[in-house]
Amino acid sequence: MPKAFSEHEKETIKAQMRGKGKKLFEMQGLRKTSVDELTEAVGISKGAFYLFYESKEELFLEILEELETDFRSRIFDFSLNPGDDARKLIAKLLNSALLTWDRYPLLKNFGMAEYEYLARKLPPERIQAHLNRDNEFVNDLIKRIQRDGIKVKASPRIVSNLLTSLFFMSLHRDELGENEYPETMKVLTHLVAGYIVGE
């Protein structure tokens, strides 16, 4: 039976699991990383792992959401000058978001197969909660753009769907071709930006 941990130990172990887990998931991917490897990296028993997480997928999603929070704060730091062409500004923002996304190896290498695997392994309500976070981000982003004086003519739901579509396209970078991917996304972000501002 796993030993009881103090609150301080619990916080320390969880932080270590996120840090070490991130490195293992980046190197090996979600499916190839085992609970044994995760516990060995932190120095706890396999039984103790389940005091913190129901599964390695739950840990992975927590790490993913932590990275997404950091990613989103960087996007909100993006400078918009309302005197410039609105479509170009939004396209630039979307391109910047995709380039920023690529700076996170775990996010960049998170492909469609991993997404489907994660969706199968986690409870539907957990996946839905994650999707709800995405919708909140889009709503906050729209408000931020509007505060900067750019009119958003598409409905929040359509903007959310378009941004989700760009995200799903990024999961198919291998099929799109590593060399062709940046140009493809540049074209798509230009088209999406035009629709968002009504051009």
Identify the weakest region by mean pLDDT among 45-49, 65-69, 123-127, 173-177. Answer: 173-177
Whether 66 and 23 map to the same domain: the answer is no
Q: Which long-range contacts (CB under 8 A, 24 or more apart) does 15-20 make?
A: 16/41, 16/42, 17/42, 17/49, 17/52, 17/53, 17/59, 18/59, 18/62, 18/63, 18/66
Q: Are residues 40 and 68 in the same domain?
A: no
Do 95 and 128 reside in the same domain of the chain?
yes
Highest mean pLDDT among 74-78, 81-85, 122-126, 154-158: 122-126
The CATH number of residue 158's host domain is 1.10.357
Q: Are residues 186 and 173 in the same domain?
A: yes
Judgement on whether residues 69 and 8 belong to the same structural domain of the protein: no
Longest dimension (CA), the chain: 64
Q: Report d(CA 49, CA 37) in Å as an integer.
A: 11
Whether residue 86 sits in one domain with residue 45: no
Q: How many CA atoms lie within 13 A of 80 on its CB side?
A: 25
Q: Check whether residue 193 and residue 160 sit in a common domain.
A: yes
Q: Among residues of the chain, what percentage have pLDDT more than 70?
A: 95
Tell me the per-residue pLDDT of 33-84, one tens digit each, with 9 for 90 and over. 999 999 999 999 999 999 999 999 999 999 999 998 888 887 777 766 666 7
pLDDT at position 55 is 95
Helix, strand and coil percent figures for the chain, each rounded to 5: 75, 0, 25
84 and 144 co-located in one domain: yes
d(CA 159, CA 195): 9
Domain boundary among 18, 34, 53: 53
39: domain CATH number?
Answer: 1.10.10.60
Domain count, the chain: 2
Q: Which two tokens stand for residue 37?
A: 């490897």
Q: Tell me, yes or no, whether 74 and 27 share the same domain.
A: no
Clarify whether residues 49 and 60 are in a common domain: no
- Same domain assignment for residues 86 and 175: yes
For residue 66 the two structure tokens come to: 């932590």
Q: Which of 17, 37, 53 is the last residue of a domain?
A: 53
- For residues 61 and 110, state if they share a domain: yes
Task: Find the domain containing 77 and state its range.
Answer: 55-197
